[in-house]
Amino acid sequence: MASSKGILSFLGAAALLVCGTSILSDPGKERLSGVIGKMAEISSFRASITINNELTGTLSYQRPNHIHVKFSDGRVIASNGRYLWFYSPSRGIVGKQDVKGMTGGMAGLLSGYEEVTPVGGSLRLKSATRTYEEIVVTLGPDNTPRSLRMKSRSTGEYTSVSFSGVQTGIGLPASLFNFGAPANAQIVENPLNERE
């Protein structure tokens, strides 16, 4: 007959196996929560960005949903929280997308990943269902992202975005986020909506 001490040890091990994820902390998800929390504290920022080591630009952000990106080739992405504009001067086209007050930001991009693994100064996020099946976020000492490397589920291709010269808590004019289309540009309404 098994001793009561042995049975208690077995029950303790079984409980740990069954409930371990709720008893033990998850350092990856805790660090990710810290990153999202840090970004939520920032009311505004401006940074130089580089995409795929090729395209450069300046990113400006103001909470809650205002963004403006001016690329070195003249392209612009801007949103005032109600509309998102994409402007290509070489094509003379402006896409104007109604975003219906949807929010996203860093929290929207990084939330919902089933697997979050800390790797040195980075976090690796993996999901079987998200648009990006994998995101690697490299973090600065202040817990803000310094780079993102994202693998698209649909194409399998990677996009990398790096941030430098980050300034936080700066004053940004509201007019920056209200894009004014050039008079000669063709405007395409809601280009991101799925067509039936």
The DSSP-derived string for 18-44 is HHHHHHS--HHHHHHHHHHHHHHH-SE
Residue 179 is assigned to a structural domain of this protein: yes
- The predicted model scores a pTM of 0.75
Residue 124 is assigned to a structural domain of this protein: yes
CA distances in angstroms from 55 to 51, 71, 113, 115, listed in the order given: 5, 7, 28, 30
Residues in the chain: 196
pLDDT single digits (tens) 87-141: 999 999 999 988 875 656 777 788 889 999 998 889 999 999 998 999 999 988 8
Residue 148 is assigned to a structural domain of this protein: yes
The larger pLDDT score, comparing residue 21 to residue 37, is at 37
The alpha-helical segments, DSSP class H, found in 24-115 are 27-41, 105-110
CATH of the domain at 80: 2.50.20.10
Residue 11 is assigned to a structural domain of this protein: no
Cα(120)–Cα(111) distance, rounded to whole angstroms?
Answer: 20
Q: If you average pLDDT over every residue of the chain, what do you get?
A: 82
Cα(40)–Cα(85) distance, rounded to whole angstroms?
Answer: 24
Q: 68 Cβ partners below 8 Å, 6+ apart? A: 59, 60, 61, 76, 77, 78, 79, 176, 177, 179
Residue 5 is assigned to a structural domain of this protein: no
H or E segment and range at residue 95: strand 93-98
**Residue for token pair 């939330």:** 111
Q: 142 Cβ partners below 8 Å, 6+ apart? A: 38
CA distances in angstroms from 101 to 19, 63, 112, 169, listed in the order given: 39, 13, 20, 23
Residue 133 is assigned to a structural domain of this protein: yes
The larger pLDDT score, comparing residue 143 to residue 174, is at 174
Cα(75)–Cα(73) distance, rounded to whole angstroms?
Answer: 6
SS3 (DSSP) at 111? coil
Q: Which domain holds residue 80?
A: 28-189
Residue 111 is assigned to a structural domain of this protein: yes
Band (22; pLDDT cuts 50, 70, 90): very low
The larger pLDDT score, comparing residue 194 to residue 190, is at 190
Query: What total of structural domains would you count in the chain?
Result: 1
DSSP at 101:
T
